[in-house]
Amino acid sequence: MRTKKLIREEVACYRKSASRKEVESKSFEIAQRLIKLDSFKASQAIMCYMDFKNEVMTGYIIDYCFKHGKRVVLPLVDSINGIKKVVPYEVVNLENDLMPGVFGILEPRKDSARVFNVKEIDLVIVPGVAFDTGRNRIGYGAGFYDRFLEAVKPDCTKIGIAFEFQIYDDIPVEEHDIPLDFVITEERII
Ligand SMILES: Nc1ncnc2c1ncn2[C@@H]1O[C@H](COP(=O)(O)OP(=O)(O)OP(=O)(O)O)[C@@H](O)[C@H]1O
Ligand SMILES: [Mg+2]
């Protein structure tokens, strides 16, 4: 089996070569599959992420949530007692409530967005570098999402969204890695 490191490198290469058009159309297809899921329909508060560098684009999903009265929650990586962690914030307006953070990724502004109670999140859309058919996930290697997902309520739905080139048969899993309920690509729901 490939190592996490090798998989991160392979996927980075695919991402670099993907065209903007391809990323946009596949992201739209993924959003369409997501919004048709019963667990998405039933969810009131949805945690999403802000995409960067050819990740699955989340704009369609966030727009849909605003239009359909679902609450939108986004992550801020914040330092709490010197330890960096994911803190969920509710965002009501993408223009006012966000600003560029690390690597230029948009994140919630502490002075306008509000911290959201993690136990009130019904569904989390989890970013990732790669996923496998057993719904395991590899992220960027900080363990931020693994720690965050330990804190959500037990019936919170965890969904990975990814392009087909991010799907492997089998990826290495460590004890702290938290599996997902669904992985959605432009071609299928795993
Ligand atoms: N729940 C946890 N408690 C303590 N340490 C953890 C936990 N989850 C992950 N870690 C640590 O974080 C490091 C990175 O983990 P891993 O390789 O799984 O990252 P990742 O899943 O790719 O990252 P991310 O979740 O940020 O996308 C590991 O050294 C691991 O020991
Ligand atoms: Mg992990």
Amino acid sitting at position 107: E
Please tell me the distance between residue 158's alpha carbon and the centre of ligand 2 in angstroms: 14
pLDDT at position 67: 97
Residues bordering ligand 2, an ion, CB closer than 5 Å: 146, 177
169 CB less than 6 Å from ligand 1?
no
Cβ–Cβ < 8 Å for 48, 58: yes
| Ligand 1 geometric centre to CA of 58 (Å) | 24
End-to-end Cα spacing for the chain: 20
Phi, psi of 126 (to 5 degrees): -100, 125
Q: Extract the residue ranges of the chain whose pLDDT is less than 50.
A: none
Contact between 49 and 128 (Cβ < 8 Å)? no
Residue 102: the pLDDT is 81
**Which DSSP letter does residue 150 get?**
T
**The pLDDT of residue 105:** 92
Cα gap 90→98, rounded to integer Å? 11
CA atoms within 13 A on the CB side of 187: 5
- Determine how many CB atoms are found less than 10 A away from the CB of residue 130: 22
How far is ligand 2, taken at its centre, from the CA of residue 134, in Å?
14
Q: Does any ligand 1 atom lie closer than 6 A to the CB of residue 141? A: yes
Q: CA 143 to CA 141: how far, in whole Å?
A: 6
C-alpha pair distances (Å), 189 with each of 10, 28, 32, 116, 160: 22, 14, 11, 29, 10
Q: Name which residue sits closest to atom 18 of ligand 1, judged by CA.
A: 143
Measured by CA distance, the residue closest to atom 17 of ligand 1 is 141
Nearest alpha carbon, ligand 1 atom 11: 143
What domains lie within the chain, and their CATH numbers?
Answer: 4-184 (3.40.50.10420)
Task: Report the pLDDT value the prediction gives residue 103, as an integer from 0 to 100.
Answer: 82
What is the Å distance from ligand 2's center to 148 Cα? 11
